[in-house]
Amino acid sequence: MSEPRFLITTPLPEPAYALLSAQGTVDVWEHEHSSGELAEAAASGRYSVILSQLTDRLGAAELADAKIDGIANYAVGFDNIDIAAATSAGIMVGNTPGVLTAPTADIAMLLILATARRCIEADTYTRAGLFEGWKPSLLLGSDVSGATLGLIGSGRIAAATARRAAGFDMVIQHCSVRGPHDRVAPGESELELGQRVSFDELIETSDFVSVHVPLAENTYHLVNAAVLSRMKRSAILVNTARGPVVDEAALVAALKSGEIAAAGLDVYENEPRLASGLVELANSVLLPHVGSATVSVRSKMAELCALNAIAMSRREIPPHPVNPQAWHS
């Protein structure tokens, strides 16, 4: 059997290169690339597995002539890949679940605290030299302790966020929104804390609504203008999942009109672009998609991604397959 050739579309932390180069040849793209270039590489017959990023679009068009065994996505999310197209082309897809659960939940908690306690506004105020001493009414925020946190989704990251929120004495409720690739059986949840409620009850009664569902057809614009209008006027929306789950233009309108109080976002509908008007809003805290951005986690993701790729290059089911049926269909 000839040795496999891997394509890494964007340089990854170690041990990705070390693991892959011990098994075969590794090409690493260091340049910005188009989806056309990616499609050409996939169709070239040179590569056994492509190690892709969530910014690499691998839709039906890009996969139409692909001659690869697998795609190892450097992310837990895989909405950048058309899984149905990959499956029917016999391409296995792998992802990197688990290792980024804790840091992403940390960022959700950070956004809850930062929005409620107006952390960025307060920091900007202090740096601007405006702090003239303690005042009873200076930069008043809203309570976290005792507030109700509504988690949209009940998977691993929602569960880890619930555990953190419990430590802040928050009251937790959650609802399930099932996606097409969910492994947890209907009725099951990884969430042991809090109360399961309907989506409608959750959005109408929560002080904080935090989004923890993957992007899929049924979650696109799940939080839209109608949903925002039913949230409490004092409510805060947090999104660490995927931008398009929230209608960002509708969110800007709701934040401007005071329909909801604030938003803490790590993800955006059209990354890296932000919806018009969002940047100007003091009641938004905006992070650049850094949920998993710690040195050790990015390295663990690189390891999982490489292990997925190596297994796929041997036509073995990888440690974290998204569509294990790809090679049997």
Minimum gap (Å) between residue 49 Cβ and ligand DGY: 18
Q: Does 103 bind ligand DGY (CB under 6 A)?
A: no
Report, in Å, the least distance between residue 134 CB and ligand DGY: 40
Q: Decide: is 100 part of the binding site for ligand DGY (CB under 6 A).
A: yes
Active-site pick, 174, 212, 242, 320:
242
**β-bridge mates for residue 195, sequence order:** 173
* Dist CA 206 CA 86 (whole Å): 39
Shortest approach of ligand DGY to residue 157 CB, angstroms? 10
Residue with tokens 């590489």: 41
Q: Is 231 helix (H, G, I), strand (E, B) or coil?
A: coil
Structure tokens at 139: 């930069």
Listed ranges 70-78, 172-180, 229-237, 305-313: which one lies at the site for ligand DGY (CB under 6 A): 70-78
Q: From the candidates 5, 156, 289, 320, give the one annotated as an active-site residue.
A: 289
Contacts to ligand DGY from residues 252-291, by CB under 6 A: 291
By CB atoms closer than 10 A (0-12, 13-18, 19+), residue 167 is exposed
Select the residue interacting with ligand DGY from 75, 116, 159, 309 (CB under 6 A). Answer: 75
3-state secondary structure of 239: strand
Asked if 19 contacts 310 with a C-beta cutoff of 8 angstroms, the reply is yes
- Asked if 76 interacts with ligand DGY (CB under 6 A), we say yes
Element spanning 229, H or E: helix 225-230
Nearer to ligand DGY, 11 or 36 (CB): 11
Q: Report the nearest approach of ligand DGY to the CB of residue 75 (Å).
A: 3
For the chain, the distance separating the N- and C-terminal CA atoms, rounded to the nearest angstrom, is 24
How many residues touch ligand DGY under the rule CB under 6 A: the total is: 7
Task: Give residues 288-317 in contact with ligand DGY (rule: CB under 6 A).
Answer: 291-292
Active site residue 201: no
Check if 271 is active-site: yes
Rounded Cα distance between 307 and 319, Å, is: 7
What is the phi/psi pair of residue 195, to 5°? -115, 140
Q: Which residues bind ligand DGY (CB under 6 A)?
A: 54, 75-77, 100, 291-292
Catalytic residues: 242, 271, 289
